[in-house]
Amino acid sequence: MNIKSIITELCRYEDEREWFEFKENWFQPVALGEYVSALSNAAAMHGKKYGYFVWGVRDDTHEITGTDFNQYCEYKGEPYQNFLARNLSSGTSFSFEETEFKGKRVVVLVIPAAKKLPTAFMKKRYIRIGSSKNNLDEYPEWEVRLLKILLSEGETISEKPSEYQDLKFSKLFGYYGSKGIVLKEKTFEKNLGLRNSEGEYNLMAQLLSDDSHIPIRVSIFEGETKGANLFSVREFGNNCLLYSLDDLLRYMDVLNLVQADETDRVVERKDVPLYDNKAMREAVINAVLHNRWVDGNEPMISVFSNRIEILSRGTLPPAQTKEGFFEGESIPVNDKLSQIFLQLHISEKSGRGVPKIVEVYGEKAFAFRENSIVVTIPFDLIHKVGKKVGKTPSDLTERRKAILSEMRNNPNITAKELHTILGISETAVENNIAYLRKNGYIEHVGSRKTLVNDT
- Other beta carbons less than 10 A from residue 36's beta carbon: 24
- Other beta carbons less than 10 A from residue 217's beta carbon: 15
pLDDT at 125: 96
Element housing 339 (H / E): helix 335-343
Question: How would you write the pLDDT of the chain (455 residues) with one tens digit per residue?
Answer: 799 999 999 998 888 889 999 999 999 999 999 999 999 999 998 878 899 999 999 998 999 999 999 999 999 999 999 999 999 998 789 999 999 999 999 999 999 999 889 999 999 999 998 889 999 999 998 898 888 778 766 678 998 999 999 999 999 999 999 999 999 999 999 999 999 888 999 999 999 999 999 999 999 999 999 999 999 999 998 899 999 999 999 999 999 988 877 665 555 667 889 999 999 999 999 999 999 998 889 999 999 999 999 999 988 876 677 887 888 877 777 888 998 999 998 987 656 789 889 989 999 999 999 889 999 999 988 754 344 444 444 456 777 888 888 887 787 888 888 888 887 777 778 877 877 777 777 766 654 444 544 44
pLDDT at 261: 72
Amino acid present at 32: L
Query: Which residues 6+ apart lie within 8 Å of 316 measured at CB?
Result: 322, 325, 368, 373
Tell me what the pLDDT averaged over the chain comes to.
87
CA–CA distance, 112 with 110 (Å, rounded to integer): 7
- Tell me if 4 sits within 8 A of 46, measured CB to CB: no
**Rounded to 10 degrees, what is the CA torsion of 44, 46, 48, 50?**
-60
Which of 215, 203, 204 lies closest to 301 in space, CA to CA?
215
What's the angle, vertex CA 181, arms to CA 175 and CA 185, rounded to 5? Answer: 80
SS3 state of residue 184: coil
CA–CA distance, 234 with 216 (Å, rounded to integer): 8
Domain definitions of the chain by residue range: 3-152, 155-213, 217-378, 393-451
CA–CA distance, 394 with 127 (Å, rounded to integer): 52
Taking CA atoms, 268 is separated from 40, 191, 263, 369, in Å, by 61, 54, 11, 44
Domain 217-378 belongs to what architecture?
Answer: 2-Layer Sandwich (3.30)
CA–CA distance, 144 with 131 (Å, rounded to integer): 20
pLDDT at 452: 47
Taking CA atoms, 84 is separated from 29, 77, 109, 131, 235, in Å, by 8, 13, 12, 22, 54
**314 Rama class: left (phi>0) / alpha (psi -120 to 50) / beta:** left
**Rounded to 10 degrees, what is the CA torsion of 198, 199, 202, 204?**
130
Q: CB pairs under 8 A, 24+ apart, for 259-262?
A: 259/381, 259/382, 260/382, 261/382, 261/386, 261/388, 262/386
Taking CA atoms, 97 is separated from 30, 49, 71, 119, 318, in Å, by 20, 16, 9, 21, 31
Cα first-last separation, the chain: 60
- Residues for the chain: how many in total? 455
pLDDT at 395: 54
The dihedral built from the CA positions of residue 217, 220, 224 and 227, taken in this order, carries a sign that is negative
Query: Does domain 393-451 correspond to CATH entry 1.10.10.10?
Result: yes
CA–CA distance, 260 with 269 (Å, rounded to integer): 6
Crossing angle for the helix pair 426-438 and 398-409, to the nearest 10 degrees: 90
Options 3.90.1150, 3.30.950, 1.10.3470, 3.40.50; CATH of 3-152: 3.30.950
Helices (H), 209-276: 241-255
- Tell me if 82 sits within 8 A of 151, measured CB to CB: no
Report the greatest alpha carbon distance in the chain. Answer: 102
